[in-house]
Amino acid sequence: MKSIIPTITLILISLAGYSQIDLEQILKGTEAPPLIKDVRKFMDKRSPISTTFDDASYEAPVLYNFEPAYQDYYPIHLQPQTSDGGYRLRSGVYSMNLNSFCFRGYTHGPSRGDGHLYAPLKGRKKDLIRKILERYTLSTDVRQRDVQVLIWAIIAGASFDELGSKYQKVLNQLFTPTELISMQTGNFVKDYFLEKLEKLPQISPALQSIINSQKQIRKSVTQNKTYQEIEKIAILSGAAPSKDMVREVSKGRWSYHPNGYFVRFFPNGYPFTRMDVYVPYEGNYKQTRKGKVIQDDMASTQVREVVVNPNGMVATPANRSSQMVGISGKPARDPFFGPKDNEYPPEPTVTQEEEIQEENLSSEEVETEAVSNNEDEYQGQASFKNRQVQIRIWDHQKEDGDIVDIYLNGQLIRQDQEVTKDGYSFDVELTKNENVFKLVAKNEGSITPNTAAISINDGFENYETVLSSKKGESKHLRLKIIE
């Protein structure tokens, strides 16, 4: 047993980035089965991306026979957006074709028959990967293929200073210098232990191939090799072997997301994925103590509102040798497969109390409301405990001279306000139990459309969203007071 320990130790240190390796093959001949489980646990914790099919524990059998009609879908990309790339959705069925990424190197591309289930992003570099996807989603000048190379480099264990000038430039487009310094990590022990590991007699051909591929990727990004050249190293040709199938998962299976909605994925290779989202009404479904989702009050029509942030979601295949696909929030070139005349689901039903409030608007308020364009769209609601709130408005992308008028309950409170990168804040009082906050786009700046990120904070809750409008359009939020 003593002769085994150095081998295990070297594997632990040098393979912290390789959760996808078949450890039984790696340790073949060591005669140490009890240690294999411990090695796998260690590697899963230390991998840059450690998500596996075991983490896809959110499958929703309750929706096995749920297949929405084509005409029922609404486009996700047209819904109100948050400042970190998420979307605000209310009860309904939605879809969007998204740019996506390879999250598991040295594997076979997803086949058309593979089912993929939702799993959360895990691993030592999960926060960095998610932040890269969020910045990419909001960017206008960063190419998808360059971000993919960055992700492959991270999976391969490359540090930032190993990147060539081409990929350093991509990092600089996504992060500030201060952020890069805080995220920098060294790899000074890695090459030493890889060299030692390669000389061990227990190394299998599969492991040797992965070690060589990792070295090639790190060398390639240092030399500014192209995406196509690096893809040939990272992606295996042919279909994934059936022996690596954990269990059969049919295409189009729904998963239940912890934030209260259902989601499913249809990858097209790894660069593009169709994501469907179903937001049920409040009370339609509930989770048992064991986490199983079951039907509850299916007669309920109380609208539910959720935030769906695709960035960092993982579409996980049941075949361990197939591609694991990471989802971004950036719409693909053709973002929606559904009916072209479907844009927004119906607004929540107006109650009698709300109708009375609308009727009680003063003539002055009605006149002021009429100043804005008739294209006034509901964009979501938020609830607050405190009537005194602070509102901040800023340009979360590139400052381009957007100008807005701001209304609260029909009163113009800010006129010709420029939306800047630094932003501005002001305090207001929510005088009604339900208040209407509205932005009217006066122009579209130098980059269409007019976009403004908004945060509303009452000291207890902080609500964030992004309103995008064409010139003359207005978007409004409902701000409710919880007594």
pLDDT (tens digit per residue) in 366-392:
434 434 344 578 888 888 888 999 999
By the 8 A CB rule, do 349 and 427 touch? Answer: no
What's phi and psi for 456, nearest 5 deg? -130, 120
Q: Could you give the CA distance from residue 344 to residue 79 in angstroms, rounded to a whole number?
A: 7
Q: What's the confidence (pLDDT) of residue 61?
A: 92
pLDDT tens profile 386-438? 899 999 999 888 888 999 999 998 888 888 899 998 888 888 889 888 899 99
- Asked if residue 189 lies in contact with residue 246, where contact means CB atoms within 8 angstroms, the answer is no
Instruction: Give backbone dihedrals phi and psi of 338, rounded to 5 degrees, phi first.
Output: -80, -170
Cα-based angle 385, 388, 392 (whole degrees, multiple of 5) = 105
- For residues 155 and 169, give the distance between their C-alpha atoms in angstroms, rounded to a whole number: 19
pTM: 0.67
List all residues 6 or more positions away from 367 whose beta carbon is below 8 Å from its beta carbon: none
C-alpha distances in angstroms, 463 versus 186, 188, 306, 459, 460?
37, 43, 12, 11, 10
**pLDDT of amino acid 306:** 94
Q: Are 239 and 247 in contact (CB under 8 A)?
A: no
Residue whose pair of structure tokens reads 């895990």 in the numeric block? 122
Strands 87-90 and 235-236, how do they pair? Answer: unpaired
pLDDT in tens, the chain (483 residues): 444 444 444 444 344 434 343 443 444 444 434 444 444 444 445 678 889 888 998 999 999 989 999 899 999 998 988 887 889 999 999 999 999 999 987 777 665 457 899 999 998 889 899 999 999 998 888 999 999 999 999 888 888 888 899 999 998 899 887 777 766 644 433 444 445 455 555 555 666 666 777 788 889 999 999 999 999 888 887 777 777 778 888 889 999 999 999 999 999 888 999 999 999 999 999 988 888 899 999 999 999 999 999 999 999 998 888 889 999 999 998 888 777 667 767 665 544 444 444 444 443 344 344 343 445 788 888 888 889 999 999 988 888 899 999 999 888 888 889 999 888 888 888 988 889 999 999 999 888 888 898 999 888 888 888 888 888 889 898 898 887
- In this predicted model, what pLDDT tens digit does every residue of 205-217 receive, in sequence order? 666 666 777 788 8
Q: Please write down the long-range contacts of 64-68, taking CB distance under 8 Å and 24 or more positions apart.
A: 64/253, 66/254, 66/278, 67/252, 68/93, 68/276, 68/278
Domain chopping of the chain, boundaries? 53-190+205-331, 361-481
Q: Is residue 382 within 8 Å of 480, Cβ to Cβ?
A: yes
Give the Å distances, CA to CA, from 190 to 15, 186, 196. Answer: 9, 9, 10
The Cα 90–Cα 344 span in angstroms is 10
The pLDDT assigned to 431 comes to 84
| Nearest Cα to Cα of residue 261 among 114, 58, 461, 120 | 58
Three-state SS annotation for the chain: CCCHHHHHHHHHHHCCCCCCCCHHHHCCCCCCHHHHHHHHHHHHHHCCCCCCHHHCCCECHHHCCCCCCHHHEEEHHHCCECCCCCEEEECEEEEEEEEEEECCCCEECCCCCCCEEEECCCCCCHHHHHHHHHHHHHCCCCCHHHHHHHHHHHHCCCCHHHCCHHHHHHHHHHCCHHHHHHHCCCCCCHHHHHHHHHCCCCCCHHHHHHHHHHHHHHHHHHCCCCHHHHHHHHEECCCCCHHHECCCCCCCCCEEECCCEEEEEEEECCCEEEEEEEECCCCCEEECCCCCEEECCCCCCCCCEEEECCCCCEEEECECCECCEEEEEEECCCCCCCCCCCCCCCCCCCCHHHHHHHHCCCHHHHHHHCCCCCCEEEEEEEEECCCEEEEEEECCCCCCCCEEEEEECCEEEEEEEECCCCCEEEEEECCCCEEEEEEEECCCCCCCCEEEEEEEECCCCEEEEEEEECCCCEEEEEEEECC
